[in-house]
Chain A
Amino acid sequence: MLHWFNPLAWLAAFRFDECAELAADKMAIEDEPALAGDLAGALLLVAQDATRTRILAPAASGRTLSRRLTRLIEPTAQPGERMMLTKRIPLLLLLTALIGAGAVQVNLVAQDEPLEAIGGGAGEITVKAAQDFAAKVAGTDELHKQFKAALQTEAGALALRDRVGQMEAEAREEAYEDAIPELVNSIFVGEGDKLKLREDKQAFRSQYLSATEKVNQDLAAMRKTLNEVAGKMKLESDLDKIVHRFVTNESAPIILYVRELRPRLRPGMRVLEEILEGVFARRQDGKYAIRADARPAAEQRAKRFTEFQSILKRFRRDVRELGAEISQHDDFHKRVHAAFTDPLFTARLGAELIEDGGASRIRAERLIGNLEGALREGAEGLVVHPNEREEVGEFIEEFERGKAAAARLRAPLKQFAERIADDDELHKAWREMLQSDLALIQIGGQLEYATADAGDAIREFLSQIINEQPDGSLKVEPQEADEEELIEGISDIFRASRAARRRGRELEELLIKVDDTQLRDAMQSAAGKVVFGDYLNRHLASTIPNGLDQWIDDHFERTTAGFRIRGEAEEAIRDMLKDVDAIKEELENADF
């Protein structure tokens, strides 16, 4: 991250409106993989992945993202003094989550159904779950008895959570270690001394290449701006030279791109997420689910939608019939005519009905009556009443804008709908609704956008620290007290870029034997690595270790009678029982 004075940081910390604007025309139409966040370029920055905890990588990141962001907002805050209190948690955090699954099927290790699963992660081990496990423990000696007894208590369940949690943390660390080769193996298969693309990975191939192409465009635009800036820089102070080194460095700006610029340039699905935020939230697993508190509203909407569907046919015919009578004697009326006869226009009116109380037949007829009221007979058919012209004009204009946006929305909306959690009838109803014309035109109407490319973005970014001099040259001029911080920030980026290079080489070596040269070249390019990082991110998030099963396997053997403590695990179990006793003892003394 750069500096607290950097407006991008403020921006990240505040409602990221222009994200939506930037997004619309660049929205991923095809199924684009998750966008990487700060940690991301994951390939690049495995060492800094924020999904790891501080305990695992204290040196790498020093503090968690949230803490870092706290510091951005309040530079003097001590770590832990207060958590962020921004209206929204900055985008960077948002990006650590996955936008969706399904682009690549990563089935690395065919996972066996665990024989005796009693829960998911460490957090879910309750006394009840611990008791269930205890019931399956078979041994009858003292140690087994003590263990079973311990699991009947809160303290026992807690100790078990502790062990399992630690196991998961370790497993997660291992997963990070192995992530790159595993992912490569899931894409390619060895044939002789060649690596061939797996047969089911054709879709991956084209998605990957097109995503890489986009990043490439960004990087090229960025490079162009950087060269321009570098050429004009006046190199006087050390700081000038440091920044110049950064600007001219091959890979360091890419880190900046991944961390800061790309999320702004390609917000992807987040635009839809924001628009639908009142009803849906994206879950950790990437699925969209209806918020616990939005159900009543969601149910009402769904009901009204069904209501509208039932009258849709006739309503559409009525509107079209009216539209057909509209005169086409001038441009304005031609537009009105075109709108009225457009099926999307009926949907637009339907949205109006649904918003405003419901879509019963009577209300629909009343609406048509209102429309008719705005028209009157003209020489060549119906014309818009002069008094209503302004309002009708605005409505038509808004419709046309919405329609234009809707064209780009169809695919993303479908994608969104497909990612709706398959929970119940209500979710199903919404899945259908979101793929209707009605959703398309309604959401399309809410999209506004402006364009900016990566070159602009990096220019804006650099303008925080570089100033134009009267003679037209550029010079580094950060705010006085922050020189140190600037150097620290740049060092951080250089560090990250070196780490990324090392990881990148690992990937390059793995890919040497790939026979698909186009894919190989893409994957070995800088842009390709950024995209690979996205896949890696998703892969990592989808590899959720089952610590409990692992812990059980490590400490117990499965016999026909039930679980039995392994001889070599007795010490560890005793240790755990000691903890349980200690906790109980502390509990005895919990009064004050």
Chain B
Amino acid sequence: MLTSSLLALLLIGASPQDQIDTHLGAAQRHAGVQPAPLCDDETFLRRVTLDLAGRIPTRAELTAFRRQPNRTAKIDQLLAGDEFPRFWSQVWTSALVGYATERFEASREPLRIWLEEQLRANTPYDKIARELIAAEGESAFDGPVNFLVRHREQPAVKVSRIFLGVRLDCARCHDHPFDRWTREDFDRFTRFFDGVEYREVSGRNIRVLEAPREASEEDRPRFLSGAKPRTSRWRDELALFVTTCKPFARNYANRVWYQLLGRGVVEPPDDFSANEPSSPELMKHLTELARETKFDTRAMIRAICNSQAYQRQSGRGEESFNSHSLFASFTPKPLTIEQQIHSLRIAFDLSPTALQIQENIRNAVEESLDADFSETWAYRDNVQDEMSRLVRELPRLEGDFEDWYERILSRSPTMRERKLCEGRPQSQVIFALTHSNEFRFNH
């Protein structure tokens, strides 16, 4: 077995993705875990298209990829595409504010639109985070303020969770025996937000502004590192502290990883204090990668998607905890609402307007009970949600079940499936494909 310093030596000049696999390989060997083989091209195409464009591949894309299965080129193409900023803005928005924002007088869509613009312009993630933490403006028009509006009751709790992977919630009520953060830490961290004011300019338009603050030494806010603000603009300084510290880079890397691999190196992704990374070397590497690439989200995603870890077969659900936490196989993730809607659109050649898509999403969200989808990939639909999906009429499709398999599941049927589908009515086969876990999960 290689010592870590020797390993480091060997890794000089290796590509980021190779380094990912080297670290994981070492950890897997050490734990005696046998990694799954790489997935086939069709599975890869579906997986990466869902993850980067938020939908299943079209048949044309499938055909093209079968002809020329260049995975790296596909990743680059998707990252350069128009759908990437749209889909990842949805991903980040859900993590930042969840779906049920109206209840908190925040507006989800302006935030999403803003994030889409940032991703399109490839704004570094640390800059995005700074703007979110220090945001000022009106919620109906200025996207970023909606993050604070949504969490105005406890901004410190959300900021520390989403940007640092630190749960201060527990410290809020009492000093937690297993946690390093004390109630004092929590209180002083909270004080960074003392200057925020929320004023309703008009209905559903809340203006967030910052009143310059002064306070005596012992009343001043204090960052978790002990750093204190120097000027009267506390929140601005907090934004700098947060995005400069290492936990921020670590948490960001872990979140991107979590989004793609369905599980964090630190799991759950918002709790670094209580959980060790499953592979400390990998975590360290990803953290460094985040800083080296200057929080370029595309660069981070490119490295991860090109790794073998991302490209392994799924389907070892019954394996040991170690194999999951060391990413020996791919963990299936339920499709998000947006992925479902856009994938159905692809499968059935529908072309809804932007308004219809927006309404679709809103309707789907209304069916779901829980607002915060950001911390887990659990399947959360309840009986009624699922039932109302099951009874939805599906459009008819041309062709035979060979075509339907390609359209809906992005692959050809197996012998068993051919046999089973033979002679069945079209509606039944399409029903079974559209409602299959294979369709409803990214695997």
Please report A residues at the B interface, Cβ cutoff 8 Å.
Answer: 53-55, 64-66, 80, 82-85, 87-90, 93-94, 96-97, 122-123, 154-155, 158-159, 161-162, 165-166, 169, 270, 273-274, 277, 281-284, 289, 291-293, 296-297, 299-300, 579, 582-583, 586-587, 589-592
Taken residue by residue from 101 to 130, chain B's Cβ proximity to chain A (1 for < 8 Å, 0 otherwise) reads as 000110111100110000000000000001
In the complex the two chains form, is A155's CB within 8 Å of B240's CB?
yes
Q: A55-B213, A586-B227, A592-B247 are in contact. Are A64 and B197 (CB under 8 A)?
A: yes
Chain A neighbourhood of B283, CB < 8 A? none
Expressed in whole angstroms, the Cα–Cα distance for A162 and B241 within the complex equals 16
In the complex the two chains form, is A166's CB within 8 Å of B232's CB?
yes
How far, in Å, is B141 (CB) from chain A's closest CB?
A: 5
In the complex the two chains form, is A283's CB within 8 Å of B205's CB?
yes
Expressed in whole angstroms, the Cα–Cα distance for A89 and B214 within the complex equals 27
Q: Which of B107, B137, B223, B353 makes the CB contact (< 8 A) with A590? A: B223
How far, in Å, is A166 (CB) from chain B's closest CB?
A: 6
In the complex the two chains form, is B245's CB within 8 Å of A97's CB?
no
Chain B neighbourhood of A282, CB < 8 A? 201-202, 205
Cβ of B358 < 8 Å from any Cβ of A? yes
Chain A neighbourhood of B202, CB < 8 A? 94, 97, 270, 273, 277, 281-283
Expressed in whole angstroms, the Cα–Cα distance for A284 and B190 within the complex equals 28
For the complex of A and B, the 8 pairs showing the least CB-CB separation, nearest first, are A293-B109, A53-B211, A282-B202, A162-B231, A89-B200, A281-B140, A281-B205, A292-B110
In the complex the two chains form, is B141's CB within 8 Å of A277's CB?
no
Cβ of B425 < 8 Å from any Cβ of A? no
Expressed in whole angstroms, the Cα–Cα distance for A94 and B136 within the complex equals 18
Q: Which of B105, B110, B113, B227 makes the CB contact (< 8 A) with A587? A: B227
Please report B residues at the A interface, Cβ cutoff 8 Å.
Answer: 104-105, 107-110, 113-114, 130, 136-138, 140-141, 143, 152-154, 190, 194-195, 197-207, 209-214, 223-228, 230-233, 236-237, 240-242, 244-247, 353-355, 358
Q: A64-B197, A169-B212, A281-B141 are in contact. Are A591 and B225 (CB under 8 A)?
A: yes
In the complex the two chains form, is B138's CB within 8 Å of A284's CB?
yes
How far, in Å, is B435 (CB) from chain A's closest CB?
A: 29
Expressed in whole angstroms, the Cα–Cα distance for A87 and B355 within the complex equals 26
Knowing that A53-B211, A89-B206, A281-B201 are A-B contacts, what are 8 other residue pairs whose CB atoms are under 8 Å apart, sorted by A's residue number? A53-B195, A83-B198, A97-B201, A155-B240, A281-B138, A283-B202, A293-B140, A590-B242
Chain B neighbourhood of A88, CB < 8 A? 105, 200, 203
Q: Which of B136, B203, B236 makes the CB contact (< 8 A) with A274? A: B203
Some 29 contacts from A to B, beta carbons below 8 A apart, are A55-B232, A82-B154, A85-B152, A88-B200, A93-B200, A97-B199, A97-B201, A97-B202, A158-B233, A166-B212, A273-B203, A277-B203, A281-B202, A281-B205, A282-B201, A283-B140, A284-B207, A291-B110, A291-B204, A292-B110, A292-B141, A293-B109, A299-B355, A300-B355, A579-B231, A582-B230, A583-B240, A589-B226, A591-B246
Q: A586-B241, A589-B225, A590-B227 are in contact. Are A296 and B358 (CB under 8 A)?
A: yes
Chain B neighbourhood of A90, CB < 8 A? 200
Expressed in whole angstroms, the Cα–Cα distance for A87 and B104 within the complex equals 7
Q: A162-B231, A592-B245 are in contact. Are A293 and B201 (CB under 8 A)?
A: no
Chain B neighbourhood of A65, CB < 8 A? 199
Name which of A54, A89, A169, A292 has the most chain B CB atoms within 10 A of its CB: A292
Expressed in whole angstroms, the Cα–Cα distance for A289 and B212 within the complex equals 29
In the complex the two chains form, is A158's CB within 8 Å of B198's CB?
no
How far, in Å, is B363 (CB) from chain A's closest CB?
A: 14
Chain B neighbourhood of A66, CB < 8 A? 197-199
How far, in Å, is A298 (CB) from chain B's closest CB?
A: 10
In the complex the two chains form, is A292's CB within 8 Å of B140's CB?
yes
Expressed in whole angstroms, the Cα–Cα distance for A97 and B200 within the complex equals 8
Q: A97-B202, A590-B245 are in contact. Are A296 and B353 (CB under 8 A)?
A: yes
Chain B neighbourhood of A84, CB < 8 A? 198
Smallest CB gap from A282: residue in B = B202
Expressed in whole angstroms, the Cα–Cα distance for A64 and B199 within the complex equals 10
In the complex the two chains form, is A162's CB within 8 Å of B140's CB?
no
Expressed in whole angstroms, the Cα–Cα distance for A297 and B362 within the complex equals 13
Q: A93-B199, A590-B244, A590-B245 are in contact. Are A165 and B358 (CB under 8 A)?
A: no
In the complex the two chains form, is A591's CB within 8 Å of B245's CB?
yes
Q: A97-B202, A162-B212, A281-B141 are in contact. Are A82 and B237 (CB under 8 A)?
A: no
In the complex the two chains form, is B153's CB within 8 Å of A296's CB?
no
Chain B neighbourhood of A299, CB < 8 A? 355
Chain B neighbourhood of A55, CB < 8 A? 211-214, 232
Chain B neighbourhood of A273, CB < 8 A? 202-203
In the complex the two chains form, is A587's CB within 8 Å of B140's CB?
no
Q: A587-B227, A592-B225 are in contact. Are A161 and B198 (CB under 8 A)?
A: no
In the complex the two chains form, is A158's CB within 8 Å of B237's CB?
yes
Q: Which of A53, A284, A587 makes the CB contact (< 8 A) with B244? A: A587
Chain A neighbourhood of B354, CB < 8 A? 296
Smallest CB gap from A86: residue in B = B105
Chain B neighbourhood of A122, CB < 8 A? 233
Smallest CB gap from A586: residue in B = B227
How far, in Å, is B194 (CB) from chain A's closest CB?
A: 6
Smallest CB gap from A590: residue in B = B245
How far, in Å, is B265 (CB) from chain A's closest CB?
A: 19
In the complex the two chains form, is A293's CB within 8 Å of B236's CB?
no
Smallest CB gap from B130: residue in A = A154
Smallest CB gap from A96: residue in B = B199
Q: A291-B141, A579-B231 are in contact. Are A158 and B240 (CB under 8 A)?
A: yes
In the complex the two chains form, is A291's CB within 8 Å of B107's CB?
yes
Expressed in whole angstroms, the Cα–Cα distance for A162 and B137 within the complex equals 17
How far, in Å, is A308 (CB) from chain B's closest CB?
A: 18
Smallest CB gap from B154: residue in A = A82
Expressed in whole angstroms, the Cα–Cα distance for A589 and B231 within the complex equals 17
